[in-house]
Amino acid sequence: MSEDRTIIESQRPSHLPLDLQAEVNLPTDRYSMLYRKWLKKQGVTFGCI
C-alpha cells in the first residue's frame, strides 16, 4: 500500500463526485459506484478518496 500512496495522493480531483454521470464508469468500477451510492444515501454531497 505504501508504494501506491504517492500516486493516490497526487490524483485530482481530490474530491470524489457522487454523481455517477460526472465520470465514465466501467464494470470494474462497480464497488466504487456502490460506495458512492451509499454515501449519497447517507446525505453526503461530496466524497473523498
Domain ranges of the chain: 2-48
Report pTM: 0.59
Checking if the pLDDT of 1 tops 80, the result is: no
pLDDT of residue 24: 87
Q: How far apart are CA 14 and CA 32, in angstroms?
A: 15
Query: What mean pLDDT is reported for the chain?
Result: 82
**What region does 44 belong to: left with phi over 0, alpha with psi -120 to 50, or beta?**
beta
Q: Which residue has the cell 464494470?
A: 27
Residue predicted with more confidence, 8 or 20: 20
